[in-house]
Structures are given as structure tokens and as C-alpha cells.
Structure 1
């Protein structure tokens, strides 16, 4: 598409055709009047009849909304695009028109990742420039008949009529947008590489409405943002089931926290050199009354999205610390924290307060942080980490290798340990590239004097490979399933790893791979 179009007064291209039709109609009427004055009644009647037929055809072929231009209240003042309220009106008119012509209709939603963090760190002027850049990019790529609107602060919609056999045309448009919006852009003398979540839905069964399209696209957008890979995602009916589950989790989460229904599970962490148990990673478990048992992977993303991940993490931390006070002093607790928690300036104080209340030694606590937690505000994350380190709390970079700037983050924060993304570990045996990546990460750790731990160890072959390349610690199904409070206490008692009981030469048993 040409880059010369500007994102101003975004009205369908058919509005120009409407104006031309009106002008021609006026000329024909004038000609008929002249013919009548000359006494040529029959030609005048024929001309008037032809004009009436043409007017009906034009009205049928064009959306009703094209006969009027949007006023100031219908235009987003920052981007010049249609606003959401006017989009609903002209969109519904477009849908009714394309359905009469037996065509399909698709809606694409585009949401800028981390927009608030970008505007917060670079300033509102940079945020406005980014919004204008995204608006112009969408308008340039969209077909001329499409309606492009700014829905809300950083979300845009694009309504596109299409031939039902041409879904690939919509997919190519979305893929082009993903590429263009992922290119570096200069904002207020700073270069930024934005990324967008793109969701798509289409209805070509004659039952489309604006509300139905928006609802489906919203569900797909939630899934696209959770997937966080920048690739366009089409709506699927299963997303409605996922949303029903999400709503149930949101509805019941706060009560579950108050009632103590979300409980810790403990996954063993092992020294690969000696096979000794060194600690446990703590995760959450919730037996939901209607959805059944859920691990943290299922409910924590929802908790983070609704602002409750901090309360869940601190609750699990408090329960785990209370249980671990009389464990052998060599055993540590590793607590993963959500990315959103590192945007809380009071996080360090909350963790330290929990330590104090539980009487748990700071040196036995390790906080796990993912790279996603560093994107929004690295300076704040550094401040939080320094406060925690000053209390003797250890810091681990979790899921290393998944992000795009791992080496920079290793230099930016004083990590005590790095945990390799479990996807690399699980695929070591089958994929030589994964094995090479894991080896490179371990060698990098050696050069930085930084212990490297592997998550997702599930068989003896992978354990042996990790030990051979010098990986220091491992965790995963090879060393047993996550244990609840009673199970972990029973296991520690049997192995004489409760305080006051000598640990002797305990090694954790491996399960058959």
C-alpha cells in the first residue's frame, strides 16, 4: 500500500463516489427541466426515470453512512482516525451492506505492548508520537474500503470487507502490520522497537454485528497478549470457554486468598554434582470449587492481569516460610514473583516485612525474576533488587534464554544464579540446537562466576548431559512431583532434614525416566 495517505478523517472511500453521484444526479435533473421547457416531454420523462433508477442503485451499493462526513465529535483528535462510537455506527452500516452483497467481514484489533511503560519512561510526547505512528501504519496498510478507528488509549480496530474465499488476504495484512510495527522508530530523539499484539476475527455467515465482532476480537486479543510472541492470532470458539474460566477465577480469587484456599507446592532443587537436596521452588495450587485442581500456570496469569498476583505471591511466601522454619538450615526457598510486582515500589519492603513476621532467615530465601519484569522499568527493578540484596536475599534470573536482551540484564542486576528456560532442557536430547544453547549458557555462567541451574529435568540422560557440561543444579520431574506441606514435611523427616536431625549423607531419590 502507498505510504502517502495521512490518517485524517478516516471515512470510507465510497464517500467520494457518493459526492460524484449526487453531482451527476443534479445535472440530469437540470437537463430534464430544459427538455420540458422545450416541449420534449417524453425524453424528459425517460431521463427522470433513468435518474431515479440510478439513485436507487447507488443507494443499494453504498453504505448508508457514506452519505455523510464525520464531524469533530466522531474523530479521534490525536490520530485523526474514527473514534469508537462513530466506528460502531459506520461499521454496522458497512456490515449490512456487505452482507447484502454476500461478502464477508473481518475485524482486526491492534494493541501496543507495554504502551503505558513506554509513555511513562519516555514521556507523554513520545507516547503520542507512537500512537500517531501506529495509526498511520495501519491506515497505510489497510485496504481503501476499510474503516480504521482508535478504540482506546493504545488499541486500534480495522473493519475490512472481503471475499469469503480470501481469508489469506486478511492474514497477509496482519502479518505485514506485525513486521512494520516491530521496526525501530525514533521518538523524541530516542529509538524504540515497539511490538504489537494483533487479533483477528471474521464472520461470513450473514450473522455479523459490530458487537459480536468486537467481543470475539477482544477474546483473541487477550490470548495474543498472553502468548506474547507478536504473531497475529485468529479468534477460536475455545477462547470463549477460556474467558468463562478466566471470569470464574477472577470472581473467586479474592475469597480464595482470604480463606487460605491457595496453598504452596514444593518442587525439589538438587545439586547435580553431589545429588543432594538444596532447596525447593514454591508454586501455587488451588482446588477451585467448580473448575477443579489448578496449578499456578493456570491461575497466576489471571491473577496478574487483575492485579492480585502480588497478594498471591506473598501469601504463598508466608505459608512456605512458616512451614520451613524448622527445616535443616541448608535448605532454601525459591519464590517466583510476577513481572507486575516489580512495578511496585514497595515490593522490597513487603518481602522484608514477611520475612520478619515469619522469623525466616533472609539468606535462605531466593527471589526469582523473569526478564519480562525488567522491561517496564529497569531502574525501579534495580532499586528493588538492591534493597533485597542488602538484606541478604538471593536473586535468580528465571527462564533465561526466552528473552531478547539476557546478556544486558545479567550485567544490569546482581544475580546469584541463572535458571535456564525449561523448554531448552526438555528438548536437549532431540534437538542439537537446544543442547548447544544450554552448553553456551553454562559456559557463559562459568565465565561470569555465576551458577547455572536447569529447570525441567525429566530423565537420567538429560541429567548426565547437564552434569557433564558443568551445570550446577537441576529441578524437574526426575526428582519427584511438587509436594504439599504435609508431604514435604514427611519426606524431610524420613531423610532426617528437619532441624536438630542430622542430614547424614542424604541424596534425593530419582524417579525412573
Structure 2
């Protein structure tokens, strides 16, 4: 017998005992009336007049009836107490099933039904239902820095503050780890009233949370939507639909800088649908090997000689055509596919460049996500071994944002790569958070000036002071410089006046696929035979991946 059957059996036994006890009590009352009617008069007469004593059998029967009545009364009281306790237990179980244990808010299971009940009540009064999706900003960081106990305190405190900021007839639901949904009445055509209330909620929730040892800063981002009785397509809207819309708006609030609110708009759903389709297509594209390397020339601006190429990622999609990395790289990073995508591209690029002239370098950009992987250096070195590409001809480009995220891990990876002869460039210098101390302690081999600064050289000379400062810094640190975005002879002439450096940009040609790149190299006599490549590679130190 399983547990459910066992409970059912025990419940049936208890019911049978209750029926038996009730039957005994009724029988005892009937017998008491019968025996008492005979035995009691005899006992009273014997006591008052000295008459004959009552019959012993009747006396025993009367005493037994009295005992049975006492038993029945006690069992009746036990039944009443048991019913009260059972009702209280059922109430507690229902409360536990419907409430979040930490914050006391409704939970995901009971929240939608409560929101729907509120919507129906408001509809009878001609009012709209406003639904908010509230998410704590950087809550994982709070847990990581202060511990989960403090994180729980922050959640419970924010839950109470939100409840305090809401009208009396409102619903608050904890739908996820750090997500809340609030629903309340909003007067029709009164967006300003709703905005003011939401602003007050943000201010209330964002006050520091005091703990025993410290003060924790917590902010929230809020998405707002409402049921509009004037819209035909909202007459049958469900709580789940409203929560979904508020959730979409909340993510737009986060994109705009967090600690703010954003209203839902219909086009957001189209954007989300496109984003979901894009994610699915990127996953399929990685599996189908649709990403291809393009190559942008890097030229010595003084001599005009070709010095190497930077590998740029392109998506040769059957559906979208040739897609720019500005579109798919951020998405690939968010869905954790950038490492696999990048490794496949690097393998292709290393194989493409293995028979270039020994004077030509290959530059490859590395995502900040990849530099969080402590095994990245070993993976890259393994690619060099598999493709036979000389490490001295490879240059890895790291953006300044990588240094800001985890400088100790980056230092370890950079050191491992440098020990194998790979060169390291600091990409997009001037756009991030690097400091002079990081430039001195990290073994960079090159600095790259961001194209946004170089392009300003052609517009009334703006940005010249910054470019000159970067070039001067590079000279003082003995770091060669590469300028991106060389698109005109005017920019080239100015850069030439600053001294030796490399340049890349549309002035030297647009990025090209492997076929066009090999044709260019062949025309310049910069392709080596496989035999020459093999001999040259044997002269280089072997790469160790152990």
C-alpha cells in the first residue's frame, strides 16, 4: 500500500471509529433513560423512606450508562478539537501553497489567479489593471559579495517596501528568484498617475538595505503594461499575457541603464520575436559552419607595404545574406556560443594564413567571454599545433573591457600566450577603463587606436590631441601603434606625420574573403609553397600545450 492509500485507509478507520462512538453514545442515552427511569426512583425511595434497595443489575447498568455518556462526551470534544486542528492545518497548507515563504508575497502558482480576480473586479468599476514586472539589478553580485543570507534579507525588504508603496486593493507576486509582479488599479487615461506611482516605487525600493555589518545598495528595473478596455484585442487578455508584456518592457528598462521604468509597446513583441528567431538561426549557423573569416589589410603607413591582416567574422547566412558581426556577436555572447563560434573561425583563419609570407601577421579579436575561460590559452595553443601555424605570426587583440572585468585571469592567460611567442595587442584603446598601471604590468606588444578617434581627424582636426597623446604614450611605453579607420589620404598624411605605425581601413580596401585575399597575395608574390612553409615552421620553437 502506498502513502496515499495509507492515508486514505487511516482516514476511513478514524471515520468508522467516530460512527461507532456516536452509536455507543446514542445507545447509552437510550439505556440511561430506560434504566434510569427504574433504578433512580428505587434509589431515591430507599434513601428517603428506607425502602427496598434498587435492583443490583439495574444499578450496574445505570453506572455503565453514565460511563458511556462520559466517554461519548469526551469523544465529542475530541472530535471538535480534531476538526479545528484539521481546518487550521488545511489553512496553513493552503497558505504555504499560495505564498512565498521568504517574502510572504503570493507565488507563481497563485499569482495569476489573484491578478485575474482583481482585473474582473476593476472591470465592473470601469478601471484598468496595471501590471508591473520588477527585477532587482545585479542581484547575483549582491549574493556573491555579501552572501545568500544578506541576499534573502534584501529580497524580503524589497518585497515589504513594494507592498507598502502599492494601493490597498493590490496584488504582489514573487515570480522568480529576484523578480516580482505587482498589479493594481489605474484610472483610465491617467498615465501620469501611474508614472508617478512607479517612480515612487523605484525610489522606495532603491533605498539602502541595512544589515548588521554593512549597507547594501539595491536598485530595481520595472516594466509597465495595462489592460485597456478600449482595445478590442485586450478584452480577453490573460494575466499571463500582461505579465509577459511587462517582462518585455522590463528588459528594455535594463538596456537603457537599469534603475528605471519602461512602458510596453506592441513593437517590442516583434523585436523579441525577431531576437528569438535570430538566436535560433545563430545556433543552427554554428552547427552548420556558416560563419566565415574575412581579412582586412594592415599596412605600414610609412612604406605602404602590406604587414598583415586582421581576421573579421562574417555570417554567410542562406536566409539573411552576409551579416555584420555587430549583429550576431553580441547575441552569440549572450547565449554562450561565442567561444565555439570563435574557435571555429580561428581554425579556418589559421589554415587560410598558414602559407602566407613569413612577414605577414594574422590578428584575431578575442571576446571578453572567452577570457573568462581559464583554459582559453591551452585551447588556442592546441589550435596552433593542429593547424601548424607559427605562433610568432599570430597577434591576439584584447579590448579594454576585458581588463576591467577580471584583470588577474587576463594576466594569467596573456602570460601563457606570450611565453609561446604569441603577440598581444590592446584593442580600441581610449574607449574603456584601462589604466597606466595595467599597461605597464600586462605584457602588451601593441596598442590600437579606436577608429572613432581616427575618423575625427578628417573633420576640422577634432580628436587630434587625443590621437597624439595615445601615440606619445605608445612611444614612452615602447609599444607600437596601429590606427584603425584610415579612410582618406588626409587622415593618412596626418598619421604619417606622427611617426611609424600601422594603419588599416577602407583606404587600403574593404575586408575580403579568403579567395580575394589569396588573389591579392598571389599578385604581390606573398604566398609561399607548402614546402617552404614546412621548412620555415621547423625553424620556429615548438608550441607546448602541457
Partner residue, 2:115: 91
Distance 1:258 1:135, change over 3 A: same
Greater mean alpha carbon deviation, residues 136-145 or residues 482-491: 136-145
Deviations 1:391-430 (A, max 9, x none): 2222233334444565565466433333344444445555
Q: What is the alpha-carbon distance in structure 1 between the residues aligned to residue 433 and residue 345 of structure 2?
A: 30
Identify unmatched segments of 5+ residues in structure 2: 1-91, 531-546
Partner residue, 1:265: 294
Q: What is the alpha-carbon distance in structure 1 between the residues aligned to residue 363 and residue 475 of structure 2?
A: 22
Offset at residue 357 of structure 1 (A): 0.5
Contact conserved, 2:130 with 2:224, CA < 8 A, in 1? Answer: no
Q: Give the SS at the match of 2:522.
A: helix
Matches within 5 A, 1:395-474: 395-404=424-433, 409-410=438-439, 413-427=442-456, 429=458, 436-468=465-497, 472-474=501-503
CA RMSD of aligned residues (A): 4.2
Aligned with 2:308 (options 271, 279, 285)? 279
Aligned with 2:128 (options 98, 103, 113)? 103
Distance 1:147 1:258, change over 3 A: same
Distance 1:379 1:411, change over 3 A: same
Q: Work out which of the two has the higher radius of gyration on C-alpha atoms and give 1 or 2.
A: 2
Partner residue, 1:315: 344
Q: Give the SS at the match of 2:175.
A: strand
> Which structure dedicates a bigger proportion of its chain to helix?
2
Partner residue, 2:177: 153
Partner residue, 1:347: 376
Offset at residue 183 of structure 1 (A): 9.5
Is 2:272 the counterpart of 1:243? yes
Identify unmatched segments of 5+ residues in structure 1: 1-67, 502-513
Contact conserved, 2:131 with 2:181, CA < 8 A, in 1? Answer: no
Contact conserved, 1:400 with 1:406, CA < 8 A, in 2? Answer: no
TM-score (norm 2): 0.65
Offset at residue 265 of structure 1 (A): 1.3
Q: What is the alpha-carbon distance in structure 2 between the residues aligned to residue 191 and residue 403 of structure 1?
A: 29
Q: What is the alpha-carbon distance in structure 2 between the residues aligned to residue 89 and residue 200 of structure 1?
A: 19
Contact conserved, 2:297 with 2:509, CA < 8 A, in 1? Answer: yes
Partner residue, 2:79: none
Greater mean alpha carbon deviation, residues 320-329 or residues 447-456: 447-456
Deviations 1:245-291 (A, max 9, x none): 33334334344334332111112233344443333222222232333
Offset at residue 499 of structure 1 (A): 3.0
Q: What is the alpha-carbon distance in structure 2 between the residues aligned to residue 412 and residue 170 of structure 1?
A: 52
Q: What is the alpha-carbon distance in structure 2 between the residues aligned to residue 438 and residue 334 of structure 1?
A: 22
Greater mean alpha carbon deviation, residues 185-194 or residues 200-209: 185-194
Q: Give the SS at the match of 2:369.
A: helix
Q: Give the SS at the match of 2:345.
A: helix
Matches within 5 A, 1:163-182: 163=187, 165-167=189-191
Greater mean alpha carbon deviation, residues 227-236 or residues 202-211: 227-236
Q: What is the alpha-carbon distance in structure 2 between the residues aligned to residue 428 and residue 183 of structure 1?
A: 46
Partner residue, 2:239: 210
Q: What is the alpha-carbon distance in structure 2 between the residues aligned to residue 467 and residue 193 of structure 1?
A: 50
Partner residue, 2:59: none
Partner residue, 1:335: 364
